[in-house]
Amino acid sequence: MKRTRNLVLATVMGATLALSACGGSDSSGGSDGGNGGGDKVEGKIGVILPDTKSSVRWESADKPALEAAFKAAGVKYDVQNAEGDADKMQTIADGMITDGVTVLAIVNLDSDSGAAIEEKAKSQGVKTIDYDRLTLGGSADVYISYDNSKVGALQGEGLEKCLGDKDANIVYLNGSPTDNNATLFSQGAHSILDKNAKYKKVGEQAVPDWDNEQAVTIFEQLYTKADGKIDGVYAANDGLAGAVISILDKNGQAGKVPVTGQDATVEGLQNILKGDQCMTIQKSATGQAKALAETAIAMVKGDKPETTGTVEDETGKREVPAILLDPVSITKDNVKAVIDSGDMKASDLCTGDFAQLCTDAGIS
């Protein structure tokens, strides 16, 4: 996938949706809507999130933010989680279509299964949205995500800054091979790091399903194969970074080998404050959920959603209308920015031994 040249990036204006606005975490959480402050809207929105393993964001940030927005708009909704099972996602989608959703948003587990869901929805007159991950060969009406090539480039730049001006052996621990975003992250990172003649790649492997437990085993094998001679690690997200750090710690190298991450999770930010992780990427889940909610609500009303450009689906040979948001690089120097944005509470980050580290970082 490549972006069109004239693509204009939307900037996340901040997390305006309070996660506390909606209770309950049942993965089948549907609602008739109409309980919020907005006028009731005809139609119904279905959202299928991918899993609970690849990132904590889906249930802790996206879901409550979406539910709060739909409630406020007075629109009927159903937000469920496929728990990493493509067959379950298809079953959920079929049920939502039968139940009368008029707009269906999915975070695909792979493009083939995602495309099948979108084709079924289209045949029933249901409009579809690709959320976070582009479904290659799909038929989504809109794609809402971050500039994922830029995410990878920022990770590459972050690792380069952490390594400094020295020769370095680098290992790449990529995300799921079935996730198009993981490909874009890796490509973005390589676009920066491959240009540095002082860097040598000594290992690279993808982690199936973004599974952190598998990541521990995979990185330990890469570490052993490199005889422990690793100077920097590109880890595609904070979960994978945590797996890397566990092996580095086991070998007395935690805090000595720079590790990247993504998602600005509690674990990732704590690892940064502790000095075990050199950076992460903030992709405001609440900001992205806000964009999805606004787009889906507009589509339910029959309005044309405002997009920022298009992305190319090379498999489907088409340009997909898109809303792309800007990622932000987070290091120890600006961890406070995540708290200030409203994406995370200081009370969640600054627990136990991290209280003093937060104080040192200007977080209270």
Rounded (10°) angle between helices 148-163 and 180-193: 40
Note whether 89 and 154 are same-domain residues.
no
Question: Does the structure show a pLDDT above 70 at 311?
Answer: yes
178-196 pLDDT, tens digit per residue, is 999 999 999 999 999 999 9
Does 241 reside within a domain?
yes
Note whether 217 and 352 are same-domain residues.
yes
- pTM to 2 decimal places: 0.84
- Contacts for 262 with CB less than 8 Å, ≥ 6 apart: 151, 155, 185, 236, 237, 238, 268, 280, 281, 283
Give Cα 69 distance to the centre of its chain. Answer: 19
Question: Does the structure show a pLDDT above 70 at 24?
Answer: no
Lowest mean pLDDT among 33-37, 321-325, 346-350: 33-37
pLDDT confidence of residue 285: 85
38-84 pLDDT, tens digit per residue, is 556 789 999 999 999 888 889 988 999 999 999 999 999 999 999 99
Handedness of CA 249, 253, 256, 259 (dihedral sign): negative
- Domain with 99 in it: 19-140+284-326
CB atoms within 10 A of CB 66: 28
Q: What is the SS3 assignment for 151-174?
A: HHHHHHHHHHHHHCCCCEEEEEEE
Does 124 reside within a domain?
yes
The CATH number given to whatever domain includes residue 184 is 3.40.50.2300
Average pLDDT on 113-135 reads 98
Does 295 reside within a domain?
yes
Note whether 172 and 252 are same-domain residues.
yes
Could you tell me if 286 and 343 are in contact, meaning their C-beta atoms sit under 8 angstroms apart? yes
Question: Does the structure show a pLDDT above 90 at 286?
Answer: no
Number of domains in the chain: 2
Note whether 34 and 93 are same-domain residues.
yes
Note whether 304 and 240 are same-domain residues.
no
pLDDT confidence of residue 62: 92
Note whether 73 and 118 are same-domain residues.
yes
Note whether 166 and 270 are same-domain residues.
yes
pLDDT confidence of residue 339: 96
Question: Does the structure show a pLDDT above 60 at 310?
Answer: yes
Question: Does the structure show a pLDDT above 90 at 156?
Answer: yes
Question: Does the structure show a pLDDT above 80 at 35?
Answer: no
Going by pLDDT thresholds of 50, 70 and 90, the confidence category of residue 167 is very high
Average pLDDT, the chain: 91
Note whether 346 and 205 are same-domain residues.
yes
pLDDT confidence of residue 57: 87
User: In the chain, what percentage of residues exceed pLDDT 90?
Assistant: 84
Lowest mean pLDDT among 5-14, 138-147, 257-266: 5-14
Note whether 241 and 353 are same-domain residues.
yes
Does 14 reside within a domain?
no
Q: Tokens standing for 17? A: 């949706």
Coil vs helix vs strand at 300: helix
Note whether 353 and 320 are same-domain residues.
no
Note whether 48 and 65 are same-domain residues.
yes
Going by pLDDT thresholds of 50, 70 and 90, the confidence category of residue 36 is very low
Note whether 161 and 136 are same-domain residues.
no
Q: Which DSSP symbol is given to 354?
A: H
CB atoms within 10 A of CB 82: 25
Does 101 reside within a domain?
yes
Question: Does the structure show a pLDDT above 60 at 29?
Answer: no
Average pLDDT on 30-43 reads 59
Does 57 reside within a domain?
yes
Average pLDDT on 98-104 reads 98
Average pLDDT on 164-185 reads 97
Question: Does the structure show a pLDDT above 60 at 349?
Answer: yes
Does 184 reside within a domain?
yes
Does 134 reside within a domain?
yes
Question: Does the structure show a pLDDT above 90 at 7?
Answer: no
Average pLDDT on 102-108 reads 98
Question: Does the structure show a pLDDT above 60 at 11?
Answer: no
